[in-house]
Structure 1
């Protein structure tokens, strides 16, 4: 038992010598930044874009209205149909107008018979006057009766024509060429004069935007507007203001934006738009100087000792397709080197 302390001491010395013989972990050396492709950040002037809501619509909206009261007996269009200007799309019928027209027809017949009799009397009276049978006063009397009968006939015909025209106004005409948006009045409904039976698009397609009146003073016709391509199926990304409406409604000013190839099948679709309301200073770098790893953007910053430090940055889309704007994480004067691959 006396030899056990010496054994323990020998084992401890052996372990101590073995620990001293292990190599220390190496610290990786800082990566030296390459000289090629370096970029010195400089603030530059970029357009100050403001997102505004927009609606895909047409310049005007036409309404097909009833011109007379009565019962809607036909409506030949439905939502989505294309119509041409002046096309008959429905009919309103009022049975009283047919009876009224028939009464005026009878008045025309009676007035025509009376005028024929008066003209015949005038012919005989003139013949007898030339032979000295009637005096000049008698001829003047018969002529006055004939003129009155002819005037009554003309008035009866005018009344009959007005009644027939009123009945013809039961036809509902498309006021403009376009697409039917609303046609929700069922056949058999009683309608009144001026009631809207169908709403039809009219004019070219536009994106109608609204923005606060304080910022609308910078708007002018011809300004470029950025439109979200994904909202318009990729057919248009840039448009131009074609009209700024002078009225203010609820503190908002309305303007129309025209762009080529706007879709015509979804009237009223919401479209995201951006308008320029001024300019500002920003840090804009090419996209190859920023890399995204696991949802975080990084930029490779060159230190003063010529080594590289990957710095997290916050970015947004730049003014060009191949650029990004750095919102935070860098400042003017920093030196960048191209970033690595994304993960």
Structure 2
């Protein structure tokens, strides 16, 4: 049935007035895009670690929470520290009592020396005993401060501002010094790409990439290309404005330029679709005829949607940038 409709449509177009703008086709250079997947990653990943060993008695870290630098995430208690502190305090009390007795003996010796009853050597020994006891008390105080500081370090603090990505422990667990209580991501987020190494020579820092596939409005900037090739792939970082950080390591489709090629493109409005086939109105003098074409990728050039033509047209053809009036009437 179509073979009768299309010739009739073509005859109708022959006498149609030229309603649209005529465009002469010339090859242009279009960007060759490579579709890859990028991962949303935090710029910095820092674990919040236990500074002392003990039992995790409180855990305030939950995956997904946004925390500030220095915020308390967990509390670790080592009961031995309290016992050690009590022992030091008892030793200090004993040394303090001995110091009081030694200072009394020293005062008595000084009075006896004035009366000529004792010797200077004996008095020097009493002074030395007082100084030794004072030194012992100062050492015990220092040790007590160390234990008190260790008790304070039982509170696990967020090392930076960011989002909690992982909490590998549970309340009640026994931890060793240095174990990770939570993993934080911060310092901003970016897209990390792994591009096949055959495209490494086409990558340039500063290139603009399309985020989200063909026709995507969001763009990103290629800011860093790492020189080390891993498993046949080049790793690169892309900065994207307003990139969501709800899900870290989420995959996002990215189209990056890997070269240029010559192509014929027509305005998207020039395409006419009939019975599953695509046509473009071609003018010859004042006559218009529909020519079957095979469309390819779509491009946006200077803000105008354009369609690449793979076959059916050639350079120098004059086409209508919009469907002619006869075709518009046939739509009705």
Paired position in structure 1 for 2:102:
118
Deviations 1:277-304 (A, max 9, x none): 3333222322112234455443234469
C-alpha RMSD of matched pairs (Å) = 3.1
Paired position in structure 1 for 2:129:
145
C-alpha separation in 2, matches of 1:63 and 1:272:
29
The alignment covers a number of residue pairs equal to 314
After TM superposition, the structure 1 = structure 2 runs for residues 328-343 of structure 1, keeping only pairs within 5 Å, are 328-329=310-311, 330-337=313-320, 338-339=322-323, 340=327
Deviation at 1:139, TM superposition (A): 3.0
After TM superposition, the structure 1 = structure 2 runs for residues 212-227 of structure 1, keeping only pairs within 5 Å, are 212-227=196-211
C-alpha separation in 2, matches of 1:142 and 1:217:
84
Paired position in structure 2 for 1:19:
none
After TM superposition, the structure 1 = structure 2 runs for residues 85-100 of structure 1, keeping only pairs within 5 Å, are 85-100=69-84
- Contact 2:44 2:186 (C-alpha < 8 Å) held by counterparts: yes
After TM superposition, the structure 1 = structure 2 runs for residues 238-277 of structure 1, keeping only pairs within 5 Å, are 238-277=219-258
Deviation at 1:136, TM superposition (A): 3.1
- Contact 1:47 1:280 (C-alpha < 8 Å) held by counterparts: yes
CA distance 1:138–1:228, shift in 2 (3 Å) = same
Is 1:169 aligned to 2:153, yes or no?
yes
- Structure 2: runs of 5 or more not aligned: 1-6
* TM-score, length-scaled by structure 1: 0.79
CA distance 1:325–1:162, shift in 2 (3 Å) = same
Is 1:324 aligned to 2:306, yes or no?
yes
* TM-score, length-scaled by structure 2: 0.81
Paired position in structure 2 for 1:53:
37
Paired position in structure 2 for 1:299:
280
Deviation at 1:40, TM superposition (A): 1.8
- Structure 1: runs of 5 or more not aligned: 1-26
- Contact 1:297 1:315 (C-alpha < 8 Å) held by counterparts: no
Structure 1 SS opposite 2:159 = coil
More strand by share: 2
Is 1:281 aligned to 2:262, yes or no?
yes
Is 1:198 aligned to 2:186, yes or no?
no
CA distance 1:227–1:123, shift in 2 (3 Å) = farther
Deviation at 1:224, TM superposition (A): 1.7
Structure 2 SS opposite 1:328 = strand
Q: Relative contact order (alpha carbons < 8 A, sep ≥ 6): 1 or 2 greater?
A: 2
Is 1:311 aligned to 2:295, yes or no?
no
Computing the radius of gyration from Cα coordinates, the structure with the larger value is 1
C-alpha separation in 2, matches of 1:304 and 1:155:
106
Paired position in structure 1 for 2:4:
none
C-alpha separation in 2, matches of 1:146 and 1:76:
50
- Contact 1:79 1:181 (C-alpha < 8 Å) held by counterparts: yes
After TM superposition, the structure 1 = structure 2 runs for residues 7-22 of structure 1, keeping only pairs within 5 Å, are none
- Contact 2:48 2:182 (C-alpha < 8 Å) held by counterparts: yes
